[in-house]
Amino acid sequence: MEETLIIPAMSHRGWNGAEFDDVVREHQSRIYRVLWCELRDDEAAATLTQDCFLKAYRGRAEFRGDSSVQTWLVRIAINLARDYQRSRRHRFWRKLLGGNAKEAELATEMAEDNAPLADRALIARQQLERTMAAVATLSPQQRTVFHLRFIEELSLEEVATTMGIEIGTVKSHLSRAVKALRQQRNEP
């Protein structure tokens, strides 16, 4: 695990600028990654990361401390990403630029990194492309749940709190993701 998952929220109401700077430093990398995985857009992820912390700072008095700071921040980030995805501009650029070329490039790069042998590299690349294709078939909410659980390593409860859904729904989304992955492998 890269970062501390939970920081005490005891003095959240009294966060001053310096204390909030610490929160930003501790979580900005994760928030950027969450946003990037949601949007697959460097600039948008960076902008929304700033927006996320700005929103968190403005709304710090509303943070009740029921969940961890991380869960609270990730929830803000996910909401920002959703708003962004809803915007027409994003749809337009997404259609215009497309993401397939980048995906294939990344798959090749990752496969080369992880497998020194040509055959293994090829297999790994194909597997990664297949997984990416499977994840791409998920609905936005299913994909977000999948990312939060496996990329961010949040627990099922944390994912549920972050997304504002029941744990049962989280499990259902993960089950759908497993099904998609198995279908891509042509498993029964």
Partner 1 sequence: MKHLTDDQYAEWLSGVSTQEALAHLEECPHCHGVATALRADITRYTLARRKQARQARVAHLAKDFVSQKAIASHRLRWAGVAALALLLAAPTAWMMRTAHAPEAPSPQVNVAGASGSSQPSHAMSDDELLEAVNNDLSREVPQALAPVSVITVARNKMAASAIAVNKTSSSQE
Question: Which residues contact partner 1 (rule: CB under 8 A)?
Answer: 29, 32-33, 36-37, 42-43, 45-46, 106-107, 110, 114, 124, 127-128, 130-132, 135, 147, 149-151, 156, 171-172, 174-179, 181-182, 185, 187
Question: Shortest gap between Cβ of 173 and partner 1 (angstroms)?
Answer: 9
Output phi, psi for 16, to 5 deg.
-100, -175
Whole-number Å distance between alpha carbons of 51 and 57: 10
CB of 88 to partner 1, least distance (A): 24
What is the nearest approach in angstroms of partner 1 to the Cβ of residue 37?
A: 5
Least Å distance, CB 42 to partner 1, is: 4
* Beta strands per DSSP E along the chain: none
Q: How many angstroms separate the Cα of 100 from the Cα of each of 8, 28, 60, 64?
A: 41, 27, 39, 42
Is there a contact between 63 and 41 (Cβ–Cβ < 8 Å)?
no
**Pick 9 or 170: Cβ nearer partner 1:** 170
